[in-house]
Amino acid sequence: MLQPGIKGHHEQTVTPAMSAARVGSGLVDVFATPMLVALVEQTCYESVLPHLDEGQGTVGTLVNVSHTSATPIGRRVWCDSELVEVDRRRLVFRVKAYDEAGPIGEGTHERFVIDTAKFMEKLKSKN
């Protein structure tokens, strides 16, 4: 059952493939903002997965995250999340991201609970 208070944590090491220069969001070899967003989404998704019914998943719908400090290649980064609101199928998370030197970002992320089969069937109508 989904209730506020569910916490998540995910960490990874920044690789050259995660750099702003590589993903097209800048010219420097630092942890890219789009990769920070991906870290946030993965952390939140994984945190609620054990609490979903069979056949359910979640999709990200809103990200409001500041990226306040650069992280060099080779450093460890992590995100901590907390589910702070459940409004029927809408889930709101508070997120904070860090590297080994301290905070690198924070904000909120929203996801919606979906019935995966119905979602994919509806998606077919877009073709």
Catalytic residue, candidates 33, 46, 108, 116:
33
31-37 contacts, C-beta under 8 A, 24 or more apart: 31/70, 31/71, 31/72, 31/73, 31/75, 31/77, 31/99, 31/104, 33/67, 36/65, 36/67, 36/77, 36/97, 36/104, 36/105, 37/63, 37/65
How many other CB atoms are found less than 10 A from the CB of residue 9?
11
How many other CB atoms are found less than 10 A from the CB of residue 7?
11
The conformation of residue 114, written as its DSSP 8-state character, comes to E
- The Cα 112–Cα 90 span in angstroms is 5
41 is catalytic: yes
Catalytic residue, candidates 10, 58, 67, 106:
67
Catalytic residue, candidates 10, 41, 43, 106:
41
67 is catalytic: yes
Active site residues: 33, 41, 67
